Amino acid sequence: MEPLQRSPLPLMGEPFLDRLKDVAKDVESVLEEILPPPTTCLHQAMRYSVLGKGKRLRAFLVWATSHLFDVSPSRALKMGATIELIHAYSLVHDDLPCMDNADVRRGKPSCHKAFGESTAILVGDALIPLAFQTLSSLDVPPNIRLELITKLSQVIGSHGLVAGQMRDLGQEGSHHLFEDLLELQHLKTGVLFGFACEAGAILGKASLQEKNALRTYGLLVGEAFQMIDDWLDECGCEETTGKPLGQDTSKITFLSLLGPSGLLEKAQSSIQHAIEIISPFQERSNFLRNAAFFALNRER
Ligand code: GRG
């Protein structure tokens, strides 16, 4: 496989990576508090699946979009933690033998490998209500809380994440054409990225136009993120990604459909488009611009 020449990181220097790390650390502390203490097997398994090595990029996107509107960091972090709980549930269920059947996640045995299959199902089942409980306790006006709850439930339901998973399992639709695969990955990956960015805007009482623009930015970043995920599955480094390579070789992926250079070209154009969309926010959107470059150039 020819090496993927990804672009140098124009704006993504140490300060950005430090900020990403700082936000991830803060989100981790919020998650520590939200999760029940490890006094039962179920609660131990929940903490095992949520805490640890996640990049927390979705939470970072909430933080960075809410930064555009001077939202208090504590609200943004709680919102980010809510999305990370949902993301963790989707990973636990996706790894199950009846789904993607993956033994390793974030550099350690996946939840069902460590705690058994039935516990892993219940971990996912318990993380969803915990996420909504967290959201419903957010210290914001009731109309904002309701908008966040409504949108999150739409995004993760049978017209969002779950629909994407059905397609991925080959239970619905087809993904032999590029457009079909794009729609599948839009549902499986994009919509949660889009919601993370829209959530920051909702917290910031942004206009409808700003909310739509930021959601579109998130969808495009999610698209490129997934393309790079497909590339890393074949050409990444196991130690850095925290999971075995080649897990998707039997699947139709962006890499198998486009080849490395076509994939890179498409991912770069999505990132370019995402950056254009946020340009009206000027310097305040530098974190978002760097997050887009990070999605493209990441090693894990
Ligand atoms: C409804 C069971 C169910 C699943 C929905 C979201 C999803 C579909 C499955 C999750 C598994 C998966 C491979 C999704 C694609 C998106 C993706 C690349 C996830 C990994 O995200 P990272 O790299 O993970 O941000 P970390 O570990 O950093 O949090």
The alpha carbon of 87 and the centre of ligand 1 are apart by a number of angstroms equal to 6
Q: DSSP character for 139? A: S
The alpha carbon of 33 and the centre of ligand 1 are apart by a number of angstroms equal to 23
Answer whether 201's CB lies under 8 Å from 69's CB: yes
Mutation pick for ligand 1 pocket among 86, 90, 104 (CB with most ligand atoms within 8 Å): 90
Nearest atom within ligand 1 for CA of residue 53: 27
Pocket (CB within 6 angstroms of ligand 1):
54-55, 57, 87, 90-91, 93-94, 106, 161-162, 164-165, 188-189, 226, 229
DSSP string covering 15-71, please?
Answer: HHHHHHHHHHHHHHHHHHHHSPPS-SHHHHHHHHHHSSS---HHHHHHHHHHHTTT-
Average pLDDT of 288-293? 94
Share of the chain above pLDDT 70, in %: 95
Tokens for 192?
Answer: 């949660």
Rounded Cα–Cα distance for residues 242 and 144 (Å): 37
Residue 173 has pLDDT above 60, yes or no: yes
Residue 86 has pLDDT above 90, yes or no: yes
The protein residue with its alpha carbon nearest to ligand 1, atom 3, reads 90
Residue 5 has pLDDT above 60, yes or no: no
Q: How confident is the model at residue 88 (pLDDT cuts 50, 70, 90)?
A: very high
Rounded Cα–Cα distance for residues 226 and 14 (Å): 24
The alpha carbon of 147 and the centre of ligand 1 are apart by a number of angstroms equal to 24
The protein residue with its alpha carbon nearest to ligand 1, atom 15, reads 189
pLDDT of residue 3: 45
Residue 113 has pLDDT above 50, yes or no: yes
Mutation pick for ligand 1 pocket among 53, 186, 188 (CB with most ligand atoms within 8 Å): 188
Q: How confident is the model at residue 2 (pLDDT cuts 50, 70, 90)?
A: very low
Average pLDDT of 49-66? 96
Average pLDDT of 104-124? 97
The alpha carbon of 85 and the centre of ligand 1 are apart by a number of angstroms equal to 12
The alpha carbon of 90 and the centre of ligand 1 are apart by a number of angstroms equal to 6
Mutation pick for ligand 1 pocket among 229, 241, 294, 298 (CB with most ligand atoms within 8 Å): 229
Other beta carbons less than 10 A from residue 73's beta carbon: 13
In the chain, alpha helices (H): 14-34, 41-50, 57-67, 73-95, 111-115, 117-136, 142-156, 161-168, 178-185, 191-203, 208-235, 238-241, 254-278, 286-297
Residue 191 has pLDDT above 80, yes or no: yes
Read off the amino acid at residue 118.
S
The alpha carbon of 262 and the centre of ligand 1 are apart by a number of angstroms equal to 23
Tokens for 139?
Answer: 């210290």
Residue 198 has pLDDT above 80, yes or no: yes
Segment 216-242, tens digit of pLDDT: 999 999 999 999 999 999 988 888 887
Read off the amino acid at residue 234.
E
The protein residue with its alpha carbon nearest to ligand 1, atom 11, reads 91
Name the pTM for this structure. Answer: 0.95
Read off the amino acid at residue 8.
P
Residue 10 has pLDDT above 70, yes or no: no
pLDDT of residue 247: 84
pLDDT of residue 58: 98
User: Considering the chain, what is the average pLDDT of its residues?
Assistant: 93
Give me the phi and psi of 96, to 5 degrees please.
-60, 150
Q: How confident is the model at residue 299 (pLDDT cuts 50, 70, 90)?
A: confident
Nearest atom within ligand 1 for CA of residue 95: 11
